[in-house]
Amino acid sequence: MNVVISVLGNDIKPVLEYSGLKVTRTVHLSRSIDVYGTPLVDFKDLQQHFYRVSEELKVDIGVQLDTIDRSHKRLVVFDMDSTLIQQEVIDELARELGVYDQIAPITESAMRGEIDFDESLKRRVGLLTGAPASIIETVKSRIQFTEGALETCQQLKRLGVKLAVVSGGFMPLALHVKQTLGLDYAFANTLEEKDGYLTGNVLGKIVNAQRKADLLTVMAQVERADLSQVLAVGDGANDLLMMKECLGIAYNAKPKVQQQADLRINRPSLLYVLSYLGVN
């Protein structure tokens, strides 16, 4: 068994000095350095060691098996809010209605995994009752994409990768993200409207953690991709189940997510997703 350890930066000294790894070669990429080698300890122990080093040195170090699937993904699934885009959409809707101070703490608690996502979504959507449906278009015009999101998606598309956004947010925004970034799939919640106003209800199944994982699995089946050829990227606790189905990257994520994800990015740009795949 061989491994590749990716350092998102230039200092590979902590990797080269670790006695649990027999280094065979290093490869310098544009945003990172890959160290290849043979582990002299259990793979899980290797991961845990470099997670601790990452925390101590405040540098992202990711450990993966050195297999062909590492750089040959067939499906990448992104969360939307605070991942592909910089905002939390429901918080932006709340700003428009003057209820941000009521909704934002619920959002933050849900993303940390402290309260049930379904219940938190119902509470937050309930606070939107009576808002004009046009508010969604207003918020859409203010969406700011994450640094490197477009370039990352374009590069992955050139490599033949299918791309998806799976969000606990709302479909009009997810479709906007899909169109702008050239994604292949978009899934999110549907807000009920009546006579041009929001009713405060969500239609259909709520896109929660389990639903995200289920959708990822179904898309992998449709694309005939083994789960080892799938990558999930997200920041919140409701992304953890889909991350556990495949390789998972925690992007500027909550502590609980960072602890459980395979890989971590604590930098502004999504381009570091490519670094973990060994792509320049």
Query: Which residues are tagged catalytic?
Result: 79, 81
Q: Cβ neighbours of residue 258 under 8 Å, at least 6 residues apart?
A: 250, 264, 266
Query: Whose structure tokens read 């990822």?
Result: 216
Distance of CA 70 to the CA centre of its chain: 17
Of 47, 55, 93, whose CA–CA distance to 189 is shortest? 93
Token pair for residue 100? 């941000």
Q: Residue 29 is inside which H or E element, if any?
A: none
Angle 117-126/100-111 helices, nearest 10 degrees?
170
Q: How far apart are CA 87 and CA 94, in angstroms?
A: 12
